[in-house]
Amino acid sequence: MATPRADTLRQPELEGRRVLVCRPEPEGSRLAEAFRRAGAEVRLMPMMVREPLPETPEQRSVLQVLDNFSHVIAVSPYAARRLLDEIDHWWPQFPTGLQYYGVGAGTAAVFREHGLKPRMPAEGWTSEALLALPSLQNLSGEKVLLARGEHGRELIRQTLAQRGAQITTLALYRRSLPYYSPEQVQETFTDFHPEVVIALSGETLNNLVELGARHHLKLDPDLIVIPAQRVAEQALAMGFRKPFVPDSLSDDDLVTSVASCLSQEAGNNG
C-alpha cells in the first residue's frame, strides 16, 4: 500500500496561521517544514545555538574509563550525538554492561541509531519523568555519567546523588542566544507578527524574553508552545497569556496538538 504523501497531511486549523519556530538547528528546520506541510506560514528564528566544547584532559580521562560506569544519561538528542561522537574517538566498539538513558523519545532514538538499547520514560519527556524510572531509584555506589550542555539544569544530577549515585557530569557543548539584527527582529516580530510561538525549553523561553527586552518588543502570541508544566508556569510569570504543553514533542504529533488547541480555542470563542 502506498504511503500518503507528506503534503496531504494538512490541518485546516493551521491554514494561514503564522507560526514562529524558535528551536535550535537542525531540529528547527525540520519542525518548521512539518508546520508548512500542515498549511501554516512559518518563520524560523532559533533562540539558541549550540557550540561543541573542546576536549579537555578531564573529559578524555572520563571517556577512557567509560566501562567503569553503570548508567549513561543524555539530556537531549544533541547531547546524545555529541557523547557518541566522543565515545567513537576512544572505543572501536561500545563497552558492554552499560545502560543508556534518553530523557525523551528523540534522545533514545539517537542511541538506537548506534545499535544501543536505551531506556526512556513510558510517558513524558522531562527530567522528572526520567527520574521516575525504576532502574534509577536505588543507586548506592553506582557510577552514573550525565552528558549535557555547560551549565545545564541540575535536577538529574542532584536527585541521583541523593539516591546514592556517584555522578560524573560531562559538559559537551555550550548554549547561547544568537545575534539577530534589528531588521531581522522587525521582520519576524512586527511585520510577520507570529500567532503561535514554539519554544521547547526553559532556556529557549528565557532567550526569547531577553531578545524581546533588548528590542523593546511586545511578545503577545495567541499561543506559546512549551515542553512541560514547569515551563508553563515560567511562561505565565513572564506575562504570556496562553502557554500550551503539547501531547508529544515529535514533529508531527506536536503539529497535531497545536492544531487541536487552536481548534478548541476557535470553538470557545465562536
Reported as a single tens digit per residue, the pLDDT across 65-101 is 999 999 999 998 999 999 999 998 889 888 888 999 9
Name the residue ranges covered by the structural domains of the chain. Answer: 6-48+180-269, 51-175
> Which of 184, 15, 165 lies closest to 101, judged by CA?
165
Q: In degrees, to the nearest 5, what angle opens at C-alpha 220 toward C-alphas 217 and 226?
A: 110
Query: CA-CA distance, 260 to 238, in Å (whole number)?
Result: 25
Query: CA-CA distance, 93 to 234, in Å (whole number)?
Result: 43
pLDDT by position in tens, the chain (length 270): 333 344 447 888 899 999 999 999 989 999 999 999 999 999 999 999 999 999 899 999 999 999 999 999 999 899 999 999 999 888 988 888 899 999 888 899 999 999 999 999 887 778 888 999 999 999 999 999 999 998 877 889 999 999 999 999 999 999 999 999 999 999 999 999 999 999 998 899 999 999 999 999 989 899 999 998 889 999 999 999 999 999 888 899 899 999 999 988 765 655
Q: What confidence score (pLDDT) does residue 269 get?
A: 58
CATH entry, 51-175, from 3.40.50.10090, 3.90.320.10, 3.30.300.130, 3.40.50.150: 3.40.50.10090
Query: CA-CA distance, 23 to 46, in Å (whole number)?
Result: 5
Q: What confidence score (pLDDT) does residue 2 get?
A: 36
What region does 133 belong to: left with phi over 0, alpha with psi -120 to 50, or beta? beta
Are both 6-48+180-269 and 51-175 of the same fold?
Answer: yes
Q: What confidence score (pLDDT) does residue 268 get?
A: 60
CATH code of domain 6-48+180-269? 3.40.50.10090
Q: Are 83 and 147 in contact (CB under 8 A)?
A: yes
Q: In degrees, to the nearest 5, what angle opens at C-alpha 105 toward C-alphas 102 and 109?
A: 80
As given in the structure block, the three cell numbers for residue 59 are: 573529559
Q: What confidence score (pLDDT) does residue 7 get?
A: 44
- Average pLDDT over the chain, rounded to whole? 90
Beta bridge partners of 259: none
Let me know if 114 is exposed, middle or buried by CB neighbors in 10 A (0-12, 13-18, 19+): middle
Q: What confidence score (pLDDT) does residue 12 get?
A: 86
